[in-house]
Structure 1
Protein backbone atom coordinates (compact mmCIF):
# COMPACT_ATOMS: atom_id res chain seq x y z
CA UNK A 1 0.00 0.00 0.00
CA UNK A 2 2.88 2.38 0.73
CA UNK A 3 4.28 1.73 -2.76
CA UNK A 4 0.89 2.38 -4.37
CA UNK A 5 0.40 5.65 -2.48
CA UNK A 6 3.92 7.10 -2.73
CA UNK A 7 5.78 5.56 -5.65
CA UNK A 8 6.30 7.66 -8.79
CA UNK A 9 6.16 4.43 -10.80
CA UNK A 10 2.81 3.48 -9.28
CA UNK A 11 1.38 6.93 -10.02
CA UNK A 12 2.58 6.66 -13.61
CA UNK A 13 1.14 3.17 -13.94
CA UNK A 14 -2.27 4.35 -12.73
CA UNK A 15 -2.14 7.37 -15.08
CA UNK A 16 -1.51 5.30 -18.22
CA UNK A 17 -5.13 4.15 -18.68
CA UNK A 18 -6.19 7.81 -18.59
CA UNK A 19 -4.32 8.26 -21.89
CA UNK A 20 -7.28 6.48 -23.56
CA UNK A 21 -4.85 4.66 -25.85
CA UNK A 22 -3.29 1.24 -26.15
CA UNK A 23 -0.15 0.99 -24.04
CA UNK A 24 2.69 0.80 -26.56
CA UNK A 25 6.36 1.72 -26.64
CA UNK A 26 5.38 4.74 -28.72
CA UNK A 27 2.95 5.93 -26.04
CA UNK A 28 5.63 5.53 -23.37
CA UNK A 29 8.16 7.26 -25.63
CA UNK A 30 5.91 10.33 -25.71
CA UNK A 31 6.13 10.70 -21.92
CA UNK A 32 9.10 12.04 -19.91
CA UNK A 33 11.94 9.51 -19.95
CA UNK A 34 12.84 9.31 -16.28
CA UNK A 35 13.60 6.50 -13.85
CA UNK A 36 9.93 5.69 -13.06
CA UNK A 37 9.18 5.48 -16.80
CA UNK A 38 12.10 3.12 -17.36
CA UNK A 39 10.94 0.97 -14.43
CA UNK A 40 7.38 0.79 -15.77
CA UNK A 41 8.60 -0.03 -19.28
CA UNK A 42 10.88 -2.81 -18.00
CA UNK A 43 8.00 -4.23 -15.95
CA UNK A 44 5.60 -4.15 -18.92
CA UNK A 45 8.19 -5.87 -21.12
CA UNK A 46 9.00 -8.48 -18.46
CA UNK A 47 5.33 -9.33 -18.02
CA UNK A 48 4.71 -9.56 -21.78
CA UNK A 49 2.42 -6.53 -22.02
CA UNK A 50 4.96 -4.88 -24.35
CA UNK A 51 7.24 -6.62 -26.82
CA UNK A 52 10.96 -6.61 -26.18
CA UNK A 53 12.92 -3.99 -28.13
CA UNK A 54 16.52 -2.88 -28.16
CA UNK A 55 16.11 -0.29 -25.44
CA UNK A 56 19.60 1.27 -25.63
CA UNK A 57 19.07 2.03 -29.31
CA UNK A 58 15.51 3.29 -28.79
CA UNK A 59 16.64 5.60 -25.98
CA UNK A 60 19.48 6.94 -28.16
CA UNK A 61 16.98 7.77 -30.90
CA UNK A 62 14.69 9.55 -28.42
CA UNK A 63 17.62 11.45 -26.94
CA UNK A 64 18.83 12.52 -30.38
CA UNK A 65 15.43 13.98 -31.26
CA UNK A 66 15.39 16.09 -28.08
CA UNK A 67 19.07 17.04 -28.42
CA UNK A 68 18.81 18.13 -32.06
CA UNK A 69 15.57 20.01 -31.42
CA UNK A 70 17.39 22.10 -28.81
CA UNK A 71 20.17 23.10 -31.21
CA UNK A 72 20.14 26.27 -33.27
CA UNK A 73 18.69 25.42 -36.72
CA UNK A 74 21.98 25.94 -38.57
CA UNK A 75 23.66 23.40 -36.27
CA UNK A 76 20.77 20.93 -36.33
CA UNK A 77 21.02 20.83 -40.14
CA UNK A 78 24.53 19.41 -39.70
CA UNK A 79 24.11 17.30 -36.56
CA UNK A 80 20.98 15.42 -37.68
CA UNK A 81 22.50 13.93 -40.86
CA UNK A 82 25.76 13.16 -39.06
CA UNK A 83 23.89 11.40 -36.26
CA UNK A 84 21.51 9.56 -38.60
CA UNK A 85 24.00 8.43 -41.22
CA UNK A 86 27.09 7.89 -39.11
CA UNK A 87 26.11 7.20 -35.52
CA UNK A 88 22.59 5.71 -35.67
CA UNK A 89 23.27 3.68 -38.80
CA UNK A 90 26.18 1.96 -37.05
CA UNK A 91 24.17 1.57 -33.83
CA UNK A 92 21.27 -0.06 -35.69
CA UNK A 93 23.63 -2.45 -37.46
CA UNK A 94 25.24 -3.44 -34.16
CA UNK A 95 21.84 -3.79 -32.47
CA UNK A 96 20.65 -6.27 -35.10
CA UNK A 97 23.67 -8.41 -34.19
CA UNK A 98 22.94 -7.95 -30.45
CA UNK A 99 26.23 -6.10 -30.02
CA UNK A 100 24.92 -2.72 -28.97
CA UNK A 101 25.11 -1.95 -25.27
CA UNK A 102 24.08 0.90 -22.98
CA UNK A 103 27.77 1.81 -22.81
CA UNK A 104 27.93 2.03 -26.60
CA UNK A 105 24.88 4.32 -26.55
CA UNK A 106 26.63 6.54 -24.01
CA UNK A 107 29.66 6.71 -26.28
CA UNK A 108 27.45 7.60 -29.23
CA UNK A 109 25.86 10.44 -27.25
CA UNK A 110 29.37 11.72 -26.50
CA UNK A 111 30.26 11.64 -30.21
CA UNK A 112 27.16 13.66 -31.08
CA UNK A 113 27.74 16.14 -28.23
CA UNK A 114 31.36 16.64 -29.31
CA UNK A 115 30.23 17.36 -32.86
CA UNK A 116 27.83 19.97 -31.48
CA UNK A 117 30.59 21.41 -29.29
CA UNK A 118 32.74 21.77 -32.40
CA UNK A 119 29.95 23.62 -34.19
CA UNK A 120 29.54 25.89 -31.15
CA UNK A 121 33.27 26.56 -31.19
CA UNK A 122 33.11 27.43 -34.90
CA UNK A 123 30.32 29.89 -34.10
CA UNK A 124 32.33 31.54 -31.31
CA UNK A 125 35.36 31.80 -33.61
CA UNK A 126 33.12 33.19 -36.39
CA UNK A 127 34.25 30.37 -38.68
CA UNK A 128 32.21 28.53 -41.28
CA UNK A 129 32.36 24.75 -41.54
CA UNK A 130 32.81 25.08 -45.31
CA UNK A 131 36.00 27.10 -44.93
CA UNK A 132 37.57 25.69 -41.76
CA UNK A 133 41.28 24.94 -42.23
CA UNK A 134 43.64 22.44 -40.63
CA UNK A 135 45.07 25.16 -38.38
CA UNK A 136 41.54 25.78 -37.07
CA UNK A 137 41.03 22.08 -36.34
CA UNK A 138 44.41 21.94 -34.59
CA UNK A 139 43.46 24.94 -32.45
CA UNK A 140 40.14 23.36 -31.48
CA UNK A 141 41.79 20.04 -30.64
CA UNK A 142 44.44 21.65 -28.46
CA UNK A 143 42.15 24.13 -26.70
CA UNK A 144 40.45 23.00 -23.50
CA UNK A 145 36.66 22.86 -23.68
CA UNK A 146 34.91 25.99 -22.32
CA UNK A 147 33.88 24.11 -19.15
CA UNK A 148 37.54 23.34 -18.40
CA UNK A 149 38.54 26.97 -18.87
CA UNK A 150 35.93 28.11 -16.37
CA UNK A 151 36.75 25.45 -13.81
CA UNK A 152 40.55 25.66 -14.19
CA UNK A 153 41.11 28.12 -11.32
CA UNK A 154 39.01 26.05 -8.92
CA UNK A 155 40.80 22.83 -9.94
CA UNK A 156 43.81 23.95 -7.90
CA UNK A 157 41.84 23.11 -4.79
CA UNK A 158 42.54 20.51 -2.09
CA UNK A 159 42.53 17.51 -4.43
CA UNK A 160 45.42 18.92 -6.47
CA UNK A 161 47.63 19.18 -3.44
CA UNK A 162 47.68 22.99 -3.45
Structure 2
Protein backbone atom coordinates (compact mmCIF):
# COMPACT_ATOMS: atom_id res chain seq x y z
CA UNK A 1 0.00 0.00 0.00
CA UNK A 2 2.76 2.44 0.93
CA UNK A 3 4.52 1.68 -2.33
CA UNK A 4 1.41 3.02 -4.08
CA UNK A 5 1.29 6.15 -1.91
CA UNK A 6 4.93 7.02 -2.47
CA UNK A 7 4.64 8.22 -6.11
CA UNK A 8 1.66 10.40 -5.19
CA UNK A 9 3.50 11.96 -2.25
CA UNK A 10 6.66 12.62 -4.26
CA UNK A 11 4.62 14.21 -7.03
CA UNK A 12 2.71 16.33 -4.53
CA UNK A 13 5.99 17.46 -3.02
CA UNK A 14 7.63 18.51 -6.29
CA UNK A 15 4.71 19.55 -8.51
CA UNK A 16 3.01 22.90 -8.81
CA UNK A 17 -0.78 23.32 -8.53
CA UNK A 18 -1.21 21.97 -12.08
CA UNK A 19 0.88 18.86 -11.39
CA UNK A 20 3.86 20.13 -13.37
CA UNK A 21 7.32 19.09 -12.16
CA UNK A 22 10.25 21.02 -13.65
CA UNK A 23 12.17 18.68 -15.98
CA UNK A 24 15.36 19.35 -14.03
CA UNK A 25 13.75 17.70 -10.98
CA UNK A 26 12.46 14.56 -12.68
CA UNK A 27 15.46 12.51 -11.48
CA UNK A 28 14.71 13.72 -7.95
CA UNK A 29 11.11 12.59 -8.40
CA UNK A 30 12.14 9.16 -9.64
CA UNK A 31 14.83 8.36 -7.03
CA UNK A 32 12.53 7.62 -4.05
CA UNK A 33 10.38 5.33 -6.17
CA UNK A 34 13.07 2.64 -6.23
CA UNK A 35 13.72 2.38 -2.49
CA UNK A 36 13.50 -0.92 -0.63
CA UNK A 37 11.61 0.57 2.32
CA UNK A 38 8.87 2.85 1.01
CA UNK A 39 7.38 3.33 4.49
CA UNK A 40 10.59 4.98 5.74
CA UNK A 41 10.81 7.18 2.67
CA UNK A 42 7.16 8.14 2.98
CA UNK A 43 7.70 9.08 6.62
CA UNK A 44 10.73 11.16 5.67
CA UNK A 45 8.78 12.94 2.94
CA UNK A 46 5.99 13.77 5.38
CA UNK A 47 8.10 14.93 8.34
CA UNK A 48 11.57 16.02 7.29
CA UNK A 49 12.49 19.71 7.17
CA UNK A 50 14.75 18.75 4.26
CA UNK A 51 11.76 17.41 2.30
CA UNK A 52 9.87 20.62 3.05
CA UNK A 53 12.83 22.65 1.78
CA UNK A 54 12.92 20.47 -1.35
CA UNK A 55 9.26 21.34 -1.95
CA UNK A 56 10.05 25.05 -1.65
CA UNK A 57 12.96 24.61 -4.02
CA UNK A 58 10.69 22.92 -6.56
CA UNK A 59 8.34 25.92 -6.57
CA UNK A 60 11.19 28.40 -7.07
CA UNK A 61 11.24 29.79 -10.59
CA UNK A 62 15.05 29.72 -10.74
CA UNK A 63 16.83 26.62 -12.03
CA UNK A 64 18.28 24.52 -9.24
CA UNK A 65 22.01 25.12 -8.94
CA UNK A 66 24.60 25.32 -6.20
CA UNK A 67 24.22 29.11 -5.93
CA UNK A 68 20.51 28.81 -5.16
CA UNK A 69 21.28 26.24 -2.47
CA UNK A 70 24.12 28.37 -1.08
CA UNK A 71 21.65 31.20 -0.45
CA UNK A 72 19.65 28.89 1.80
CA UNK A 73 22.48 28.70 4.33
CA UNK A 74 24.92 26.07 5.55
CA UNK A 75 23.02 24.14 8.19
CA UNK A 76 22.47 20.37 8.23
CA UNK A 77 19.13 20.58 6.39
CA UNK A 78 20.73 22.48 3.50
CA UNK A 79 23.59 19.96 3.32
CA UNK A 80 21.06 17.13 3.21
CA UNK A 81 19.00 19.02 0.64
CA UNK A 82 22.09 19.56 -1.55
CA UNK A 83 22.83 15.83 -1.45
CA UNK A 84 19.52 15.01 -3.15
CA UNK A 85 20.12 16.81 -6.47
CA UNK A 86 23.80 15.84 -6.40
CA UNK A 87 23.09 12.14 -5.80
CA UNK A 88 20.42 12.09 -8.51
CA UNK A 89 22.66 13.77 -11.09
CA UNK A 90 20.70 17.03 -11.22
CA UNK A 91 23.73 18.94 -9.92
CA UNK A 92 27.42 18.12 -10.29
CA UNK A 93 29.41 17.25 -7.21
CA UNK A 94 31.60 19.95 -5.80
CA UNK A 95 34.20 20.07 -3.09
CA UNK A 96 32.07 21.28 -0.18
CA UNK A 97 34.94 21.73 2.33
CA UNK A 98 36.77 23.98 -0.14
CA UNK A 99 33.62 25.96 -0.94
CA UNK A 100 32.93 26.37 2.78
CA UNK A 101 36.40 27.90 3.27
CA UNK A 102 35.83 30.30 0.37
CA UNK A 103 32.49 31.42 1.84
CA UNK A 104 33.96 31.67 5.34
CA UNK A 105 36.84 33.78 4.08
CA UNK A 106 34.47 36.29 2.52
CA UNK A 107 32.55 36.56 5.78
CA UNK A 108 35.54 36.79 8.10
CA UNK A 109 37.25 39.47 6.00
CA UNK A 110 34.02 41.46 5.71
CA UNK A 111 33.81 41.56 9.52
CA UNK A 112 37.33 43.01 9.94
CA UNK A 113 38.53 46.58 9.64
CA UNK A 114 39.33 47.44 6.03
CA UNK A 115 43.06 47.79 6.57
CA UNK A 116 43.24 44.30 8.09
CA UNK A 117 41.33 42.76 5.21
CA UNK A 118 43.52 44.55 2.66
CA UNK A 119 46.65 43.10 4.26
CA UNK A 120 45.37 39.56 4.77
CA UNK A 121 43.33 39.08 1.57
CA UNK A 122 46.33 38.44 -0.75
CA UNK A 123 47.71 35.85 1.66
CA UNK A 124 44.29 34.20 2.06
CA UNK A 125 43.72 34.09 -1.69
CA UNK A 126 47.16 32.57 -2.20
CA UNK A 127 46.35 29.87 0.38
CA UNK A 128 43.03 29.19 -1.37
CA UNK A 129 44.70 29.03 -4.77
CA UNK A 130 47.13 26.41 -3.49
CA UNK A 131 44.23 24.48 -1.93
CA UNK A 132 42.27 24.51 -5.20
CA UNK A 133 45.30 23.18 -7.06
CA UNK A 134 45.84 20.41 -4.51
CA UNK A 135 42.14 19.52 -4.58
CA UNK A 136 42.50 18.64 -8.27
CA UNK A 137 44.78 15.74 -7.44
CA UNK A 138 43.83 14.66 -3.92
CA UNK A 139 40.91 15.04 -1.55
CA UNK A 140 40.45 18.35 0.21
CA UNK A 141 39.14 17.45 3.64
CA UNK A 142 37.46 19.22 6.54
CA UNK A 143 40.83 19.03 8.34
CA UNK A 144 42.48 20.91 5.46
CA UNK A 145 39.70 23.49 5.61
CA UNK A 146 40.26 23.91 9.36
CA UNK A 147 43.98 24.38 8.73
CA UNK A 148 43.31 27.20 6.25
CA UNK A 149 40.90 28.88 8.66
CA UNK A 150 43.52 28.68 11.38
CA UNK A 151 46.22 30.21 9.15
CA UNK A 152 43.98 33.10 8.14
CA UNK A 153 42.93 33.78 11.74
CA UNK A 154 46.58 33.80 12.82
CA UNK A 155 47.40 36.25 10.02
CA UNK A 156 44.52 38.46 11.16
CA UNK A 157 45.90 38.51 14.70
CA UNK A 158 49.14 40.09 13.53
Taking structure 2 as the reference length, the TM-score comes to 0.67
Q: Which has the larger radius of gyration?
A: 1
Alpha-carbon distance in 2 for matches of 1:7, 1:79: 41
1:2-48 deviations in Å (ceiling 9; x for gaps) = 43344221221111133310000111122211111111112221111
Aligned residues: CA RMSD: 1.7
For residue 30 of structure 2, what is the aligned residue in structure 1?
none
For residue 24 of structure 2, what is the aligned residue in structure 1?
none
Alpha-carbon distance in 2 for matches of 1:91, 1:3: 37
For residue 114 of structure 2, what is the aligned residue in structure 1?
73
- Give 5+ residue unaligned stretches, structure 1: 120-162
Selected match of 1:12 from 36, 53, 75: 53
- Give 5+ residue unaligned stretches, structure 2: 1-41
CA 1:77–1:47 in 2, change beyond 3 Å: closer, same or farther?
A: same
Selected match of 1:97 from 137, 140, 144: 137
Question: Shift of residue 82 of structure 1?
Answer: 1.4
For residue 157 of structure 1, what is the aligned residue in structure 2?
none
Residue correspondences, number: 117
CA 1:115–1:6 in 2, change beyond 3 Å: closer, same or farther?
A: farther
Higher relative contact order (CA 8 A, sep 6+): 2
Give every structure 1 segment of 4 or more consecutive aligned residues whose post-TM-superposition deviation is greater than 2 Å: 1-8
1:50-83 deviations in Å (ceiling 9; x for gaps) = 1111222112111111221122222111222211
For residue 23 of structure 1, what is the aligned residue in structure 2?
64
For residue 74 of structure 2, what is the aligned residue in structure 1?
33
CA 1:72–1:19 in 2, change beyond 3 Å: closer, same or farther?
A: farther
Selected match of 2:85 from 39, 44, 55: 44
